[in-house]
Amino acid sequence: MSLLVKNGEIVTESQRYVADIYCEDETITRIDRSIAAPPGAEVVDAAGKYVFPGFIDPHVHIHLPFMGTFAKDTHETAGQAALVGGTTTFIEMICPARADQPLEAFELWLGKARGHCPCDFSFHMGVTRFDDAAEKDFREIVRRGVSSFKIFLAYKGALGITDEELCKTLRLGKQLGVITTAHCENAELIEELQKGLLAEGKTGPEYHYWSRPPAVEAEGVHHLMTFAEMTGAHVYVVHTSCEEALREAMRGSARGAQVWVETLIQYLLCDKTDAERPNFEGAKYVMSPPLREKSNQDILWNALQKGFVSTLATDHAPFDFAAQKQMGKNNFTLIPNGIPSLEDRINLLYTYGVKRGRIDLHQFVGAAGAQAAKIFGLFPRKGTIQPGSDADLVIYDPKYRGRISAKTQQMNVDYNAFEGMKIEGRPHIVTLRGQIAARDGKFTGHPARGQFLQREPTHF
Protein backbone atom coordinates (compact mmCIF):
# COMPACT_ATOMS: atom_id res chain seq x y z
CA MET A 1 0.00 0.00 0.00
CA SER A 2 1.38 3.37 -0.92
CA LEU A 3 0.29 6.99 -0.96
CA LEU A 4 1.76 9.89 -2.90
CA VAL A 5 0.97 13.46 -1.87
CA LYS A 6 1.94 15.82 -4.69
CA ASN A 7 2.68 19.56 -4.89
CA GLY A 8 1.83 20.47 -1.32
CA GLU A 9 3.63 23.12 0.70
CA ILE A 10 5.21 21.16 3.53
CA VAL A 11 5.40 23.08 6.81
CA THR A 12 7.13 21.68 9.90
CA GLU A 13 8.33 23.46 13.02
CA SER A 14 11.54 24.47 11.25
CA GLN A 15 11.02 24.09 7.49
CA ARG A 16 8.75 25.22 4.69
CA TYR A 17 9.05 24.03 1.08
CA VAL A 18 7.08 22.58 -1.80
CA ALA A 19 7.68 18.87 -2.44
CA ASP A 20 6.06 15.48 -2.98
CA ILE A 21 5.76 13.00 -0.13
CA TYR A 22 5.78 9.28 -0.74
CA CYS A 23 4.48 6.94 1.94
CA GLU A 24 4.82 3.17 1.93
CA ASP A 25 2.61 1.23 4.31
CA GLU A 26 2.59 3.36 7.47
CA THR A 27 5.75 5.40 6.98
CA ILE A 28 7.07 8.35 4.99
CA THR A 29 9.84 6.89 2.85
CA ARG A 30 10.72 9.67 0.41
CA ILE A 31 10.39 13.42 0.01
CA ASP A 32 11.46 14.96 -3.26
CA ARG A 33 10.72 17.81 -5.65
CA SER A 34 8.90 15.55 -8.06
CA ILE A 35 8.11 11.90 -7.49
CA ALA A 36 6.48 9.87 -10.28
CA ALA A 37 3.56 7.79 -9.06
CA PRO A 38 4.52 4.12 -8.78
CA PRO A 39 1.90 1.66 -10.04
CA GLY A 40 -0.90 1.18 -7.57
CA ALA A 41 -0.10 4.25 -5.48
CA GLU A 42 -3.00 6.38 -4.30
CA VAL A 43 -2.27 9.94 -5.43
CA VAL A 44 -3.48 13.07 -3.67
CA ASP A 45 -2.99 16.47 -5.26
CA ALA A 46 -2.13 18.99 -2.54
CA ALA A 47 -1.44 21.99 -4.83
CA GLY A 48 -2.40 25.24 -3.09
CA LYS A 49 -2.55 23.49 0.27
CA TYR A 50 -0.31 23.16 3.27
CA VAL A 51 0.91 19.77 4.39
CA PHE A 52 1.40 19.71 8.16
CA PRO A 53 2.55 16.81 10.34
CA GLY A 54 -0.44 15.17 12.07
CA PHE A 55 -1.24 17.23 15.16
CA ILE A 56 -1.05 16.03 18.75
CA ASP A 57 -3.37 16.98 21.60
CA PRO A 58 -1.38 16.23 24.75
CA HIS A 59 -4.26 16.72 27.19
CA VAL A 60 -7.63 15.05 26.65
CA HIS A 61 -10.13 13.13 28.76
CA ILE A 62 -12.17 10.42 27.06
CA HIS A 63 -13.02 7.78 29.64
CA LEU A 64 -13.70 10.19 32.48
CA PRO A 65 -15.71 9.43 35.58
CA PHE A 66 -16.30 12.85 37.15
CA MET A 67 -18.68 14.02 39.85
CA GLY A 68 -20.83 10.89 39.57
CA THR A 69 -21.21 10.98 35.79
CA PHE A 70 -19.06 10.24 32.73
CA ALA A 71 -17.77 12.47 29.96
CA LYS A 72 -19.85 11.85 26.81
CA ASP A 73 -17.32 10.84 24.18
CA THR A 74 -16.23 7.28 23.60
CA HIS A 75 -12.83 6.62 22.08
CA GLU A 76 -14.61 6.06 18.80
CA THR A 77 -16.42 9.42 18.74
CA ALA A 78 -13.46 11.32 20.18
CA GLY A 79 -11.03 9.74 17.74
CA GLN A 80 -13.27 10.64 14.81
CA ALA A 81 -13.60 14.22 16.05
CA ALA A 82 -9.85 14.44 16.49
CA LEU A 83 -9.09 13.19 12.98
CA VAL A 84 -11.66 15.39 11.26
CA GLY A 85 -10.02 18.33 13.01
CA GLY A 86 -6.45 17.34 12.08
CA THR A 87 -5.38 15.73 15.36
CA THR A 88 -3.93 12.29 14.66
CA THR A 89 -2.68 11.49 18.15
CA PHE A 90 -3.98 12.34 21.60
CA ILE A 91 -2.64 11.73 25.07
CA GLU A 92 -5.36 10.84 27.55
CA MET A 93 -5.22 11.14 31.32
CA ILE A 94 -5.67 7.96 33.31
CA CYS A 95 -7.51 9.20 36.42
CA PRO A 96 -7.88 6.46 39.05
CA ALA A 97 -9.68 7.19 42.31
CA ARG A 98 -7.40 7.29 45.34
CA ALA A 99 -8.42 3.80 46.42
CA ASP A 100 -7.84 2.20 42.99
CA GLN A 101 -4.75 0.18 42.11
CA PRO A 102 -2.77 2.10 39.44
CA LEU A 103 -2.03 -0.96 37.31
CA GLU A 104 -5.71 -1.91 37.24
CA ALA A 105 -6.58 1.65 36.21
CA PHE A 106 -3.95 1.54 33.46
CA GLU A 107 -5.42 -1.70 32.16
CA LEU A 108 -8.96 -0.34 32.36
CA TRP A 109 -8.09 2.77 30.35
CA LEU A 110 -5.98 0.85 27.84
CA GLY A 111 -8.82 -1.65 27.42
CA LYS A 112 -11.30 1.15 26.72
CA ALA A 113 -9.06 2.61 24.00
CA ARG A 114 -7.36 -0.37 22.37
CA GLY A 115 -9.41 -1.70 19.47
CA HIS A 116 -11.91 1.15 19.80
CA CYS A 117 -9.99 4.25 18.78
CA PRO A 118 -9.67 5.56 15.22
CA CYS A 119 -6.60 7.77 15.96
CA ASP A 120 -3.32 6.96 17.71
CA PHE A 121 -3.23 7.43 21.45
CA SER A 122 -1.05 7.45 24.50
CA PHE A 123 -1.58 8.12 28.21
CA HIS A 124 -0.38 10.17 31.14
CA MET A 125 -0.55 8.03 34.28
CA GLY A 126 -2.52 9.77 37.00
CA VAL A 127 -0.80 9.57 40.38
CA THR A 128 -3.64 10.00 42.85
CA ARG A 129 -2.00 8.05 45.68
CA PHE A 130 1.65 7.27 46.33
CA ASP A 131 2.66 4.39 48.58
CA ASP A 132 4.88 1.32 48.16
CA ALA A 133 2.25 -0.73 46.32
CA ALA A 134 1.42 2.16 44.01
CA GLU A 135 5.11 2.82 43.31
CA LYS A 136 5.60 -0.76 42.18
CA ASP A 137 2.69 -0.32 39.76
CA PHE A 138 4.04 3.00 38.44
CA ARG A 139 7.38 1.38 37.62
CA GLU A 140 5.57 -1.36 35.72
CA ILE A 141 3.34 1.15 33.89
CA VAL A 142 6.42 3.11 32.77
CA ARG A 143 7.93 -0.16 31.52
CA ARG A 144 4.78 -0.69 29.48
CA GLY A 145 5.30 2.56 27.63
CA VAL A 146 3.68 5.36 29.63
CA SER A 147 6.49 7.82 30.26
CA SER A 148 4.63 10.67 31.95
CA PHE A 149 2.72 11.15 35.19
CA LYS A 150 -0.21 13.43 35.93
CA ILE A 151 -0.83 14.86 39.37
CA PHE A 152 -3.58 17.07 40.75
CA LEU A 153 -2.84 19.70 43.34
CA ALA A 154 -6.57 20.56 43.24
CA TYR A 155 -9.60 18.26 43.86
CA LYS A 156 -8.97 17.70 47.55
CA GLY A 157 -9.87 14.22 48.78
CA ALA A 158 -10.66 12.88 45.29
CA LEU A 159 -7.66 13.07 42.98
CA GLY A 160 -5.40 15.43 44.90
CA ILE A 161 -2.20 14.26 46.62
CA THR A 162 -0.33 15.39 49.72
CA ASP A 163 3.01 17.20 49.60
CA GLU A 164 4.75 14.05 50.77
CA GLU A 165 3.23 12.16 47.83
CA LEU A 166 4.10 15.02 45.49
CA CYS A 167 7.73 14.85 46.57
CA LYS A 168 7.87 11.07 46.15
CA THR A 169 6.20 11.22 42.74
CA LEU A 170 8.67 13.79 41.46
CA ARG A 171 11.63 11.81 42.84
CA LEU A 172 10.39 8.67 41.08
CA GLY A 173 9.88 10.66 37.90
CA LYS A 174 13.41 12.01 38.13
CA GLN A 175 14.81 8.54 38.73
CA LEU A 176 12.91 6.96 35.81
CA GLY A 177 13.30 9.85 33.37
CA VAL A 178 9.58 10.51 33.41
CA ILE A 179 8.05 13.99 33.16
CA THR A 180 5.28 14.88 35.62
CA THR A 181 2.36 16.93 34.35
CA ALA A 182 0.45 18.87 36.98
CA HIS A 183 -2.90 20.52 37.54
CA CYS A 184 -1.87 23.47 39.68
CA GLU A 185 -4.43 25.05 41.99
CA ASN A 186 -4.48 25.27 45.78
CA ALA A 187 -7.09 22.72 46.90
CA GLU A 188 -7.64 24.06 50.43
CA LEU A 189 -8.15 27.62 49.23
CA ILE A 190 -10.70 26.46 46.66
CA GLU A 191 -12.66 24.60 49.32
CA GLU A 192 -12.74 27.59 51.65
CA LEU A 193 -13.74 29.99 48.88
CA GLN A 194 -16.47 27.62 47.64
CA LYS A 195 -17.95 27.32 51.13
CA GLY A 196 -17.97 31.09 51.57
CA LEU A 197 -19.68 31.75 48.23
CA LEU A 198 -22.35 29.09 48.75
CA ALA A 199 -23.04 30.39 52.27
CA GLU A 200 -23.74 33.81 50.73
CA GLY A 201 -26.18 32.22 48.28
CA LYS A 202 -23.80 32.73 45.34
CA THR A 203 -24.62 29.48 43.54
CA GLY A 204 -24.59 30.37 39.81
CA PRO A 205 -21.91 29.33 37.29
CA GLU A 206 -20.49 32.88 37.30
CA TYR A 207 -19.21 32.26 40.84
CA HIS A 208 -17.04 29.35 39.79
CA TYR A 209 -14.41 31.94 38.82
CA TRP A 210 -14.44 33.50 42.27
CA SER A 211 -13.83 30.13 43.91
CA ARG A 212 -10.64 29.74 41.86
CA PRO A 213 -9.24 33.22 41.12
CA PRO A 214 -5.81 33.66 39.46
CA ALA A 215 -3.99 33.73 42.82
CA VAL A 216 -5.23 30.20 43.55
CA GLU A 217 -3.70 28.94 40.30
CA ALA A 218 -0.52 30.99 40.73
CA GLU A 219 -0.04 29.54 44.22
CA GLY A 220 -0.37 26.04 42.78
CA VAL A 221 2.25 26.73 40.12
CA HIS A 222 4.59 28.29 42.68
CA HIS A 223 4.12 25.22 44.87
CA LEU A 224 5.01 22.88 42.01
CA MET A 225 8.04 25.03 41.10
CA THR A 226 9.37 24.72 44.66
CA PHE A 227 9.12 20.94 44.55
CA ALA A 228 10.59 20.81 41.04
CA GLU A 229 13.57 22.87 42.19
CA MET A 230 14.11 20.66 45.24
CA THR A 231 13.91 17.38 43.34
CA GLY A 232 15.33 18.30 39.93
CA ALA A 233 12.34 16.56 38.35
CA HIS A 234 10.99 17.63 34.98
CA VAL A 235 7.50 19.09 35.23
CA TYR A 236 4.81 20.31 32.85
CA VAL A 237 2.12 22.74 33.94
CA VAL A 238 -1.15 21.80 32.25
CA HIS A 239 -3.88 24.28 31.28
CA THR A 240 -2.19 27.55 32.25
CA SER A 241 -4.90 30.17 32.11
CA CYS A 242 -3.51 33.52 33.24
CA GLU A 243 -0.60 35.90 33.60
CA GLU A 244 -0.14 35.23 37.33
CA ALA A 245 0.30 31.48 36.82
CA LEU A 246 2.52 31.91 33.77
CA ARG A 247 4.73 34.33 35.68
CA GLU A 248 5.25 31.78 38.49
CA ALA A 249 6.31 29.15 35.96
CA MET A 250 8.74 31.59 34.32
CA ARG A 251 10.15 32.60 37.69
CA GLY A 252 10.58 28.93 38.56
CA SER A 253 12.32 28.37 35.25
CA ALA A 254 14.67 31.28 35.93
CA ARG A 255 15.56 29.65 39.28
CA GLY A 256 16.43 26.43 37.49
CA ALA A 257 13.21 24.41 37.60
CA GLN A 258 12.88 22.16 34.53
CA VAL A 259 9.42 23.27 33.48
CA TRP A 260 7.27 23.28 30.35
CA VAL A 261 3.98 25.14 30.07
CA GLU A 262 0.72 24.25 28.31
CA THR A 263 -2.26 26.47 27.60
CA LEU A 264 -5.63 25.66 26.04
CA ILE A 265 -7.47 27.04 23.03
CA GLN A 266 -10.36 28.03 25.34
CA TYR A 267 -8.17 30.44 27.30
CA LEU A 268 -7.05 32.15 24.10
CA LEU A 269 -10.56 32.66 22.70
CA CYS A 270 -13.09 32.60 25.54
CA ASP A 271 -13.11 34.63 28.72
CA LYS A 272 -14.75 35.10 32.10
CA THR A 273 -17.84 36.77 30.63
CA ASP A 274 -18.75 33.52 28.82
CA ALA A 275 -19.28 31.83 32.19
CA GLU A 276 -21.55 34.77 33.11
CA ARG A 277 -24.02 34.12 30.28
CA PRO A 278 -27.64 34.20 31.45
CA ASN A 279 -30.09 31.27 31.81
CA PHE A 280 -27.38 28.98 33.14
CA GLU A 281 -25.65 29.05 29.71
CA GLY A 282 -22.51 29.99 31.61
CA ALA A 283 -22.29 26.37 32.78
CA LYS A 284 -21.15 25.41 29.26
CA TYR A 285 -17.99 27.38 30.02
CA VAL A 286 -17.26 26.03 33.48
CA MET A 287 -13.88 24.32 33.72
CA SER A 288 -10.88 24.51 36.03
CA PRO A 289 -8.93 26.71 36.12
CA PRO A 290 -11.79 29.02 35.06
CA LEU A 291 -11.89 31.23 31.98
CA ARG A 292 -10.09 34.47 32.85
CA GLU A 293 -10.28 38.20 32.21
CA LYS A 294 -9.80 38.93 28.50
CA SER A 295 -6.56 40.82 29.20
CA ASN A 296 -4.83 37.46 29.77
CA GLN A 297 -5.36 36.44 26.16
CA ASP A 298 -2.71 38.77 24.69
CA ILE A 299 -0.24 37.56 27.30
CA LEU A 300 -0.88 33.91 26.48
CA TRP A 301 -0.68 34.50 22.72
CA ASN A 302 2.61 36.34 23.17
CA ALA A 303 3.95 33.59 25.43
CA LEU A 304 3.03 31.05 22.77
CA GLN A 305 4.76 33.15 20.13
CA LYS A 306 7.90 33.52 22.27
CA GLY A 307 7.94 29.84 23.24
CA PHE A 308 7.37 30.44 26.98
CA VAL A 309 4.25 28.38 26.45
CA SER A 310 5.23 25.24 24.53
CA THR A 311 1.96 23.50 23.80
CA LEU A 312 -1.64 24.24 22.97
CA ALA A 313 -4.03 21.52 24.15
CA THR A 314 -7.77 21.23 24.87
CA ASP A 315 -8.35 19.42 28.19
CA HIS A 316 -11.25 17.99 26.17
CA ALA A 317 -14.03 16.92 28.60
CA PRO A 318 -17.50 16.84 27.04
CA PHE A 319 -20.56 16.99 29.29
CA ASP A 320 -24.02 17.63 27.83
CA PHE A 321 -25.63 20.95 28.69
CA ALA A 322 -29.19 19.55 28.68
CA ALA A 323 -28.53 16.95 31.34
CA GLN A 324 -25.08 16.76 32.89
CA LYS A 325 -24.24 20.44 33.31
CA GLN A 326 -27.67 20.84 34.96
CA MET A 327 -26.41 18.81 37.93
CA GLY A 328 -25.00 22.10 39.16
CA LYS A 329 -28.14 24.14 38.52
CA ASN A 330 -28.37 25.19 42.17
CA ASN A 331 -24.71 24.84 43.09
CA PHE A 332 -21.84 25.75 40.77
CA THR A 333 -19.50 23.31 42.56
CA LEU A 334 -21.57 20.43 41.13
CA ILE A 335 -21.29 21.48 37.48
CA PRO A 336 -19.18 18.86 35.65
CA ASN A 337 -16.03 20.67 34.52
CA GLY A 338 -15.03 20.82 30.89
CA ILE A 339 -15.21 22.62 27.56
CA PRO A 340 -15.16 20.21 24.60
CA SER A 341 -12.73 21.43 21.95
CA LEU A 342 -10.80 18.46 20.58
CA GLU A 343 -12.34 18.82 17.12
CA ASP A 344 -11.90 22.57 16.71
CA ARG A 345 -8.47 23.21 18.24
CA ILE A 346 -6.48 23.26 14.99
CA ASN A 347 -8.90 25.33 12.93
CA LEU A 348 -9.27 27.87 15.74
CA LEU A 349 -5.53 28.14 16.30
CA TYR A 350 -4.95 28.54 12.58
CA THR A 351 -7.71 31.11 12.11
CA TYR A 352 -7.18 33.22 15.24
CA GLY A 353 -3.44 32.59 15.57
CA VAL A 354 -1.84 32.33 12.13
CA LYS A 355 -4.39 34.28 10.08
CA ARG A 356 -4.52 37.11 12.63
CA GLY A 357 -0.73 37.33 12.69
CA ARG A 358 -0.29 36.32 16.33
CA ILE A 359 1.90 33.30 15.54
CA ASP A 360 3.59 32.12 12.35
CA LEU A 361 3.09 28.78 10.64
CA HIS A 362 6.11 27.20 12.33
CA GLN A 363 4.97 28.28 15.77
CA PHE A 364 1.55 26.89 14.90
CA VAL A 365 3.01 23.47 14.02
CA GLY A 366 5.16 23.61 17.15
CA ALA A 367 2.37 24.50 19.58
CA ALA A 368 -0.18 22.14 18.03
CA GLY A 369 2.01 19.05 17.77
CA ALA A 370 5.78 19.15 17.37
CA GLN A 371 6.49 20.41 20.88
CA ALA A 372 4.21 17.81 22.45
CA ALA A 373 6.01 15.12 20.42
CA LYS A 374 9.37 16.36 21.71
CA ILE A 375 8.34 16.79 25.35
CA PHE A 376 6.52 13.46 25.59
CA GLY A 377 8.91 11.22 23.67
CA LEU A 378 7.09 10.80 20.37
CA PHE A 379 9.52 12.75 18.17
CA PRO A 380 10.43 12.21 15.32
CA ARG A 381 7.97 9.35 14.88
CA LYS A 382 5.27 11.98 15.31
CA GLY A 383 5.32 15.78 15.03
CA THR A 384 7.33 16.19 11.85
CA ILE A 385 7.48 15.24 8.16
CA GLN A 386 10.65 13.36 7.26
CA PRO A 387 11.60 9.93 5.94
CA GLY A 388 11.08 7.41 8.72
CA SER A 389 8.29 9.34 10.43
CA ASP A 390 4.77 7.93 10.62
CA ALA A 391 2.75 9.03 7.58
CA ASP A 392 0.39 11.23 9.60
CA LEU A 393 -0.35 14.18 7.34
CA VAL A 394 -2.80 17.05 7.48
CA ILE A 395 -3.39 18.42 3.99
CA TYR A 396 -4.82 21.76 4.98
CA ASP A 397 -7.02 23.97 2.83
CA PRO A 398 -6.37 27.62 3.72
CA LYS A 399 -9.13 28.78 1.34
CA TYR A 400 -11.94 27.02 3.21
CA ARG A 401 -14.42 29.32 4.95
CA GLY A 402 -16.99 28.10 7.42
CA ARG A 403 -18.49 28.40 10.87
CA ILE A 404 -18.35 26.17 13.90
CA SER A 405 -21.62 24.51 14.85
CA ALA A 406 -22.67 21.77 17.24
CA LYS A 407 -25.05 20.61 14.47
CA THR A 408 -22.20 19.46 12.24
CA GLN A 409 -19.63 18.33 14.81
CA GLN A 410 -18.41 14.78 15.42
CA MET A 411 -17.94 15.27 19.16
CA ASN A 412 -20.65 13.47 21.10
CA VAL A 413 -21.94 16.45 23.07
CA ASP A 414 -24.96 18.71 22.70
CA TYR A 415 -23.25 22.09 22.42
CA ASN A 416 -20.13 23.80 21.12
CA ALA A 417 -18.47 26.54 23.15
CA PHE A 418 -17.31 28.20 19.93
CA GLU A 419 -20.74 28.08 18.25
CA GLY A 420 -20.93 30.44 15.28
CA MET A 421 -17.26 31.35 15.23
CA LYS A 422 -15.71 31.79 11.78
CA ILE A 423 -13.11 29.35 10.53
CA GLU A 424 -10.68 30.30 7.79
CA GLY A 425 -9.15 26.97 6.82
CA ARG A 426 -9.67 23.32 7.61
CA PRO A 427 -8.14 19.92 6.90
CA HIS A 428 -8.94 18.72 3.37
CA ILE A 429 -7.41 15.28 3.91
CA VAL A 430 -5.99 13.75 7.07
CA THR A 431 -3.92 10.58 6.95
CA LEU A 432 -3.08 8.28 9.83
CA ARG A 433 -0.04 6.08 9.22
CA GLY A 434 -0.48 6.17 5.45
CA GLN A 435 -4.23 5.78 5.20
CA ILE A 436 -6.79 8.51 4.60
CA ALA A 437 -8.82 8.88 7.79
CA ALA A 438 -10.77 12.11 7.20
CA ARG A 439 -11.80 14.20 4.22
CA ASP A 440 -13.45 17.64 4.21
CA GLY A 441 -15.03 17.39 7.64
CA LYS A 442 -16.05 13.74 7.36
CA PHE A 443 -14.46 10.75 9.03
CA THR A 444 -13.52 8.18 6.38
CA GLY A 445 -11.08 5.99 8.28
CA HIS A 446 -11.24 2.73 10.18
CA PRO A 447 -12.93 3.03 13.58
CA ALA A 448 -10.39 0.82 15.36
CA ARG A 449 -7.13 1.59 13.59
CA GLY A 450 -5.59 3.73 16.34
CA GLN A 451 -2.50 2.32 18.01
CA PHE A 452 -1.30 2.58 21.58
CA LEU A 453 1.96 4.51 21.27
CA GLN A 454 4.49 3.20 23.77
CA ARG A 455 6.87 5.94 24.78
CA GLU A 456 10.38 5.65 26.19
CA PRO A 457 11.41 7.90 29.08
CA THR A 458 13.25 10.88 27.65
CA HIS A 459 14.01 13.23 30.53
CA PHE A 460 17.07 12.71 32.69
Give the residues lining the site for Zn ion (CB under 5 A).
Answer: 315
Q: 3-state SS string over 96-158?
A: CCCCCCHHHHHHHHHHHHCCCCCCEEEEEEECCCCCHHHHHHHHHHHHCCCCEEEEECCCCCC
Q: Which of residues 150 and 426 has its CB atom nearest to Zn ion in the complex?
A: 150
Please give the Cα distance from 321 to 296 (Å, whole number).
27
If the CB atoms of residues 166 and 432 are measured against Zn ion, the closer one turns out to be 166
Residue 168: CA atoms inside 13 Å, Cβ hemisphere, count? 16
What lies within 8 Å, CB to CB, of 46 at 6+ separation is 5, 6, 7, 8, 9, 395, 428, 429
**Which is nearer to Zn ion, 6 or 59 (by Cβ)?**
59
Shortest Cβ distance from residue 95 to Zn ion (Å)? 8
Q: Compute the least distance from the CB of residue 209 to Zn ion, in Å.
A: 18
Nearer to Zn ion, 23 or 339 (CB): 339
Least distance in Å: CB of 316 to Zn ion?
A: 8
Q: Please report how close the Cβ of residue 315 comes to Zn ion at its closest, in angstroms.
A: 4
CB of 153 to Zn ion, least distance (A): 13
Which residue lies nearest Zn ion, judged by its C-beta? Answer: 315
Minimum CB distance to Zn ion smaller for 217 or for 315: 315
Closest distance of CB 252 from Zn ion, Å = 21
Phi/psi for 313 (5° steps) reads -120, -165
For residue 234, what are the contacts with CB-CB under 8 A and spacing of at least 6?
Answer: 173, 174, 179, 180, 228, 258, 259, 260, 459
Q: Closest CB to Zn ion among 28 and 154?
A: 154
The nearest distance, CB 431 to Zn ion, in angstroms, is 28
Cβ closest to Zn ion, residue 169 vs residue 384: 169
Q: How many separate helices (H) and strands (E) can be counted in the chain?
A: 13, 21
Q: Which residues contact 346 (CB under 8 A, 6 or more apart)?
A: 55, 85, 86, 87, 368, 394, 427
